[in-house]
Amino acid sequence: MSKLSETLAKTACIALVAFLDLLASSGHSKIGLRVSANPNELSFLAGSGGNKLAPLYSNALGQEVITTLKHLVTALQLDQHDIVIELIFHILDK
């Protein structure tokens, strides 16, 4: 499970790095990501400050996270289990 969490965290960071300035200027300094997988469905929710992220960010994040999740669930043989992972990211703006 730690390999899955680590890889999803790296994937999310890579997906959002192009948007760091926009996210920080919009006041999104803390971002939450909840990833769910079960035998029938893969999904994610991403938000900041109690609101969902704008489509610009969530679409970029979703493309990367869902692709990675599909690969990992199969590779790690987790496709018969219910999985929920919640990650928190802090954007440090200097």
pTM of the model: 0.87
In SS3 terms, the chain reads as CHHHHHHHHHHHHHHHHHHHHHHHHCCCCEEEEEEEEECCEEEEEEEECCEECCHHHHHHHHHHHHHHHHHHHHHCCCCCCCEEEEEEEECCCC
pLDDT tens, residue by residue, 8-23: 999 999 999 999 999 9
pLDDT tens, residue by residue, 39-85: 888 999 999 999 999 999 999 999 999 999 888 888 877 777 788 99
Give the chain's domains with CATH numbers: 2-90 (3.30.500.40)
